[in-house]
Amino acid sequence: MKTPTPPSSPSSNQSFYLGMTPANLYQLNQQKKQIQDLQNQSLSSVVAEQMLEKFMKSTEVAMQDAVLLRQELHQGRPYKTQQEPSSRPRRLIRCSNCNQEGHNRLKCPARLP
């Protein structure tokens, strides 16, 4: 199914182009109005209208989320830029022969020669 091209008139050249992705809520609402005007001019199926409504709602929600994220970033939300080293020291190795810390069974002093 092809997307109808907008009618070429002096007013359409000044208006928001339908093929562009809206960058803010104002442009989204303008695009929505223009699409609805084009739908009213020509007959369209109910399924296409429902799909368009769902798309517009999801786009609106996504743009609102993007605005909220942008505001959080500008407020200076703290981020961990580097992973901090562990505050606990590493556990010492334990010998499996004498069960003492600090050496392994190959270097055990209690090992038979």
Reported as a single tens digit per residue, the pLDDT across 81-96 is 556 666 888 889 999 9
What 28-36 contacts at long range (C-beta under 8 Å, 24+ apart), as own/partner pairs, is: 28/56, 28/59, 28/60, 28/63, 32/56, 34/6
Query: CB atoms < 10 A from the CB of 31, how many?
Result: 20
Indicate the pTM of the whole model. 0.36
Q: Can you tell me the distance from the alpha carbon of 60 to that of 29, in angstroms, rounded to the nearest whole number?
A: 9
Give me the pLDDT at residue 78, please. 60
Closest CA to 29 of 42, 15, 44, 11: 15
Residues 44-69 have a mean pLDDT of 76
pLDDT grade, residue 15 (50/70/90)? very low
Give me the pLDDT at residue 93, please. 94
